[in-house]
Structure 1
Amino acid sequence: MTAREEAYTAALQAAVTHARRWLASMPDRPIPPRRGADELVKAFGETIPGGPSDPAAAVDLLAEGVEDGLMAMPSGRFFGWVIGGTLPAALAADWLVSAWDQNAGMRGPTPGVVAAEEAAARWLLELLGLPPASAVGFVTGATMANFSCLAAAREQVLAGVGWDVNERGLNGAPLITVLVGAERHVTVDVALRYLGLGAPTVVPADDQGRIRADLLAEHLDRQPSGPAILCLQAGNLHSGAFDPFAEAIAVAHQHGAWVHIDGAFGLWAAASPTHRHLVTGYQDADSWGTDAHKTLNVPFDCGVAIVTRPAPMRRAFGIAADYLVPDAAGDPLDRAPEMSRRARGVPVWAALQSLGRSGLAGLVDGLVSHAQAIAAGIAELDGVEVLNDVVFTQVCFSVGDEERTRAVMNHLLAEGVTWMSGSRWAGRQIIRVSVSNWSTDEQDVELSLAAVRRAVEATG
């Protein structure tokens, strides 16, 4: 074995050892980190070392340094944010992506990983029931998925009124009216800000956070004529509710608007025969964004941007330079705001290959079932009120007044058996449960409900 091979072997073996130890700790590990960043930073050295060190020793030092600062987000009892775990095949594939070290921006130079991504894209469109000719870009997360889709939307709606935004920019461009529901996710606003489109026009939402489709036409009628974009959502951050897609999309298209759907975690309802009704009519939109590290449970850094018409996406992101190697079939850099990137679609392929159609449906159904079980158990506790219709993976509840709700949340976080996040919804202090991890099981549900019961009793 050469010195190079020995260095890789020792470092990778150290990483495997620490990774297996970490994953094995999940069933019993408290969720919160044990120490904060200000204290932990000292473990990583005040100054850079003067010379080289053994690669395996560096990996050991890293693992030891971060150990007390790790939150058990992969635990089946972590419900703090919409954060999935990592499926075994997706984790292993992600390691290979790093080992292969391919720049997946161009098709010709890295055909292996790009072919895997293209297969994943085809499977996603099929599983989600979306137009098979759609362009699929693998981006960093839901924020950039929304950004990428809305960049294509901006290009297309301005082109529709004779304005070439690539050539002329936004100075003097026709005003684009962007409409959103009152309870859209903040990443939609961030994407609009990145794109220079400013603050959107807000359409009221109902008590579950769904856009009021009956008021949408009135808002569109009041807007000045010209280019328009409507942003809908599949999965409200608090209630898990889905916008009335069929009605809202029909109204928007009658007014010539592009329709984008933010489906960070809820888009995956389409992959389940049991829950597909939640997205009825959504296939008629113009673009969709999602985050594969949520419901699909692949590692972080994997959003998916889907646009029905490849041309505006290519015009928004396509790059030509003499030193590049363009492919006649198009390149990944035509579908994402990056030239250089890891092959983040490969873990998506591995996840879908390992799950299959029925496994993905079972994953979605299991998450919903556990959320509903948690909601049912919480509702039985004295003084606790479940505030949303639990149609997907989100549960929101309160315990008496705001002060007691905060006290219950703080008790839960201090105990560490489960992690549920505080938020405000419909003008109330709440505790939010997001069931997103493939490994959550009935025991995790029981342990988490017991923790909520103790917190409620302790604060009564």
Structure 2
Amino acid sequence: MDENALDERARALEAAHTAASIFLDSIDDRPVWPRASLDDMLAVFGGPLAEDGVDPADVIAEMAERADPGLVAIPGGRFFGFVIGATHPAALAADWLVSAWDQNSGSSTLTPATVAMERIAGQWMLELFGLPTSASVGFVTGGQLANFTCLATARHAVMARAGWDIAEQGFRGAPPLRFVVGADRHGSIDRAARFLGIGRAELTVVDSDDQGRMRADALERVLADAEGPLIVCLQAGEVHTGAFDDFGALIPIAKEHGAWVHVDGAFGLWAAASDALRPLTAGMEQADSWATDAHKTLNVPYDCGMAIVRDPADSIAAFRTGGDYLIYSGLDPWDVTPELSRRARGVPAWAAMRSLGRSGIAALLDRLHDNAVAMAAGLASIDEIDILNDVGYTQVMFRAASDAATRALGDAILTDGTAAVTGAEWRGRAALRCSMSSWATTPADISRTVEAVRRLAAG
């Protein structure tokens, strides 16, 4: 590489470091919600592609300046929308190195350093979650693909048990598959089912209680006549209430009927890392697969979901690829996920866990729960606000006196910019949700948010 190219790279990286530092230093003071619309940003970045290029460092500086009004203060302490964590310092820096190293991490032979870090990160997670340490851990883009990967593995396995080889025979003429889900499952489960060729009309839906937990008596009734290939999906952390299914009661019922049991734990699996919160996950180790997402509770950058499967042989059977030019080592990342070429997305998870340690991860979980309890208490002190859920984990759901007032309050909170919460519908009525997912949230952030909601609800 010539000296000019090396200089361009160095200056571009320095421009990125400067822009990143300016943005992060502004987080506490900037409005949490963006100040510009998509149309505004399209106008800023659009126009015909220029004939001549621009120096890389100038591109980065220009990009950062133009983007600023459309950026969301997700890395700060008052973004409570969806279920989105900020990025832990070690994970952020590791992610920069992942891009600089530019390792194609599908193959352990080609990129042993990054695959080793991913494998160790997976082992640490299995230990934290109390899951079988022999399970496979596939790093995918997020919770959606983690659910898809686990359920694709499940479909292949239960069909094989029924004497049907999907890889060889396809689906025409295959034994009917029964796909059982809870009434308050996350939408990513339905979407994963759709990717797998399972339509909404084919789902068997089990009733849930007032917090969104699948009812054991309802599952027993649904499975009373169950025969043939069967998958049962449970949930660790309902996205509105934070409630966990009763794994100790539900999984034995499903297993009596030969089901593959999958647990969607996008943000809930991490509760097992805390002594105080671990009882929420009791019995989940009896399942066959688990999905989670490190960008939520562990606070690593996006593009870091985990598909965990009890028996790696099931993953390999579903995903191992062909190609005479590929090099196999026995168990490669591409053996347990749908991808071949990909970035080393698990490295930031290794860095975050290495930085925090067991005690730090437990303290993070406990702090997220404490923040949720404090937020619920603060909001409950506002005359116009009702809390709608039992705050046993990290979610707080609330509403004003009417649907119209609730939606108006949600809009006002986003416009005000002190904090970000997102809307929902619970049992047919409008609601607002606060998700405590960020390592950066402090008691001062909670107080500041509560006072903003108090002011907006009163006026």
The TM tier, using the shorter chain, reads over 0.9
| 3-state SS of paired residue (2:223) | helix
Deviation at 1:332, TM superposition (A): 0.3
Give, as a single letter, the amino acid of the residue that structure 2 aligns with 1:335: V
Superposed, 1:51-450 pairs within 5 Å as 51-199=52-200, 200-223=203-226, 225-327=227-329, 329-450=330-451
Deviation at 1:2, TM superposition (A): 2.1
Q: Which stretches of structure 1, 4 residues or more, deviate above 6 A after TM superposition?
A: none
Distance 1:175 1:132 in 2: 32
Distance 1:37 1:23 in 2: 22
Match of residue 11 from structure 2? 10
| 3-state SS of paired residue (2:224) | helix
| 3-state SS of paired residue (1:231) | strand
Distance 1:375 1:407 in 2: 20
Give, as a single letter, the amino acid of the residue that structure 2 aligns with 1:220: L
| 3-state SS of paired residue (1:84) | coil
Give, as a single letter, the amino acid of the residue that structure 1 aligns with 2:224: D
Aligned-pair identity in percent equals 52
Deviation at 1:215, TM superposition (A): 1.4
Distance 2:4 2:120 in 1: 37
Deviations 1:191-243 (A, max 9, x none): 011011223100000000000011111101133x1010000000001100000
Distance 1:65 1:286 in 2: 47
Distance 1:270 1:414 in 2: 37
Distance 1:181 1:45 in 2: 44
Distance 1:165 1:217 in 2: 29
Cα 1:45–1:180, aligned 2, differ >3 Å: closer, same or farther? closer
Deviation at 1:139, TM superposition (A): 0.2
TM-score between both structures, scaled by the size of structure 2? 0.98
Distance 2:285 2:413 in 1: 40
Give, as a single letter, the amino acid of the residue that structure 2 aligns with 1:318: R
Match of residue 454 from structure 1? 455
Distance 1:130 1:161 in 2: 27
- Give the paired residue count: 456
Give, as a single letter, the amino acid of the residue that structure 1 aligns with 2:213: R
TM-score between both structures, scaled by the size of structure 1? 0.98
Deviations 1:371-401 (A, max 9, x none): 1100011111113110100001101111111
Deviations 1:408-438 (A, max 9, x none): 1121111110111111011111111111010
Deviations 1:97-135 (A, max 9, x none): 000001100110111100111110111111111000000
Give, as a single letter, the amino acid of the residue that structure 2 aligns with 1:267: L
Distance 1:351 1:217 in 2: 41
| 3-state SS of paired residue (2:103) | coil
Distance 1:198 1:174 in 2: 16
Distance 2:269 2:456 in 1: 34
Give, as a single letter, the amino acid of the residue that structure 2 aligns with 1:116: M
| 3-state SS of paired residue (1:121) | helix
Distance 2:415 2:136 in 1: 46
| 3-state SS of paired residue (2:194) | helix
Deviation at 1:22, TM superposition (A): 0.6
1:38 and 2:63 are equivalent in the alignment: no
Deviation at 1:330, TM superposition (A): 1.2
Distance 1:297 1:254 in 2: 37
Deviation at 1:455, TM superposition (A): 1.3
Give, as a single letter, the amino acid of the residue that structure 1 aligns with 2:307: A
Distance 1:38 1:108 in 2: 45
Distance 1:255 1:385 in 2: 41
Deviation at 1:178, TM superposition (A): 0.8
Distance 1:69 1:145 in 2: 29
Unaligned runs of 5+ in 1: none
Distance 2:40 2:399 in 1: 34
Distance 2:173 2:66 in 1: 53
Distance 1:191 1:354 in 2: 33
Deviation at 1:61, TM superposition (A): 1.3
Give, as a single letter, the amino acid of the residue that structure 1 aligns with 2:108: R
Distance 2:98 2:62 in 1: 23
Match of residue 19 from structure 1? 20
Distance 2:266 2:40 in 1: 34
Unaligned runs of 5+ in 2: none
Distance 1:9 1:343 in 2: 22
